[in-house]
Amino acid sequence: MYFYNFAMKALQFVGGSQQDLAAFPDPARRLVTETVHPSSGNVFLDLGYPEGEAAVLALRADLMGRLRLLVQQQGWTQEQAAQRFGIAQSRVSDLVRGKWDKFSLDMLITLAVRAGRKVELALH
């Protein structure tokens, strides 16, 4: 992803790889002020969250994404998903809009189980 300031101020590069940076136009690439760092594999860790909190945030984000995908793949309306999950339709709206701050990891696990999914946690 690239952000371009039309006032020709320094550009900020937001990307995940040297390949992303290479795709930036050459004249603009010279204006990039940020260094590209390889990702740790956990965006929350990369953003500076403490290791434990970053792990929980990553789990929440992954589970929320999977639940949104489930709603989409099943073709459920928000009202149908609300009935399946046992929550209000407004909460389903929050879920599909990615409002992760409104859902604890416990609640996301509960929703997955109510949808007939099995949730497992593995330590590596």
Delimit the domains of the chain by residue range.
1-38, 50-114
pLDDT for the residue numbered 9? 46
Q: Taking every pair of C-alpha atoms in the chain, what is the biggest distance, in angstroms?
A: 54
CB 111 within 8 A of CB 94: no
Q: Supply the pTM of this predicted model.
A: 0.69
**Cα 48 from Cα 53, distance rounded (Å):** 10
Looking at CATH, the fold of the domain delimited by 50-114 is given as 434 Repressor (Amino-terminal Domain) (1.10.260)
> Which pLDDT score is estimated for 19?
64
Residue-level pLDDT at 12: 54
Phi, then psi, of 68 in degrees rounded to 5: -60, -45
- Give the mean model confidence (pLDDT) for residues 29-39: 67
pLDDT, tens digit (0-9, with 9 covering 90-100), for 58-87 = 999 999 999 999 999 999 999 999 999 999
Mean pLDDT of 79-108: 95
Higher pLDDT, 12 or 40: 40
